[in-house]
Amino acid sequence: MDILEKIVAAKKKEIEPFKEKSPVERFEREGFFWQISNRSLVQSLLIPGSTGIIAEFKRKSPSKGWFKSKELEVEPVVTAYNKSAAGISVLTDNEFFGGDLDDLIQTKVVTDIPVLRKDFIVDKWQIAESKAFGADVILLIAACLTPAQVKEFAGYAKSIGLESILEVHNDAELGHYCDEVSMIGVNNRNLKTFEVDINTSLQLIEKIPAGKPAIAESGISSADAIVTLRSAGFKGFLIGETFMKEENPGMAYETFVNNLKQQ
């Protein structure tokens, strides 16, 4: 099994016992499910002058281990992100990325920009869970879903007021596109090998359907990279490791944005 297959298998096993304890109907009665207004990442990316940065809170990765321990508090990091980012991504997978839903809730309550729950969605149940725990946006990864599942999941997300990002890595995965998705993300990291190549985004941008904001994900470590990607047509730039690997992620983010403003 490659890394993605291991993660998906573990995720399916992980959620099964929780589906019985907390059915969708319970989520519909609790938490943020019926919040008055959702924060739109699409609108945030399209605002004139937007940095386009979707800053990520990520504690570890399967390929590089821990960036920050479980003791790191969420609030100081995401509060720094909140000052100028277009959105905040929170990795909630525990086994492989060291995150959890508490990170998502804490981010939601101390920020006022869109919050993306980044996880491996393999069941519609997780989408209702995402809404109840404060997500404004979910990620649908083409590499671990069928086109029919993408359509079903994106449609359900839309029906409960969530936006969705369809994440692709190659031409074939663009075949998962449907009108129900809100945005298209191009992951420069191959989820089967975890190798990163920013040219993946540049090669796919011309093939992304018009009318949906395009987001470049992974491997973005400099303001120059954003300038190049923005010129190619990208509206969003998901960046996590570049900040989280530093001693002070919030300060690293602010330095990055200042460099971007000087471009």
Residue 38: half-sphere exposure toward Cβ, Cα within 13 Å: 25
Indicate if 152 belongs to the active site: no
Considering 68, 201, 218, 235, which one is annotated as catalytic? 218
206: CB partners within 8 A, 6+ apart: 233
Q: State the catalytic residue, choosing from 187, 188, 190, 201.
A: 187
Q: Is 218 an active-site residue?
A: yes
Would you call 58 a catalytic residue per the annotation? yes
31: which residues sit within 8 A by CB, 6+ positions away? 131, 132, 133, 134
Residue 196 CB partners (closer than 8 Å, separation 6+): 188, 189, 190, 218, 219
Active site residue 68: no
Beta strands in the chain (DSSP E): 53-57, 60-61, 65-66, 87-91, 115-118, 137-141, 163-168, 183-187, 214-217, 236-239
Q: For residues 5 and 28, what is the distance between their CA atoms, to the nearest angstrom?
A: 30
Q: Which of 58, 108, 151, 235 is catalytic?
A: 58
Crossing angle (nearest 10°) for helices 124-132 and 147-159: 30
Catalytic residue (one of 56, 163, 173, 241)? 56
Phi/psi of residue 102, each to 5°?
-60, -35
Q: Of 11, 60, 108, 118, which is the active-site residue? A: 118
Residue of 108, 217, 235, 241 marked catalytic: 217
Please pick, among 61, 151, 163, 167, the residue that the annotation labels catalytic.
167
In three-state secondary structure terms, 211 is coil
Query: What letter would DSSP give residue 28?
Result: T
Is there a catalytic annotation at residue 231?
A: no
- CA neighbor of 86 nearest in space, from 132, 32, 39, 131: 39
Which residues are catalytic, by number?
A: 56, 58, 118, 167, 187, 217-218
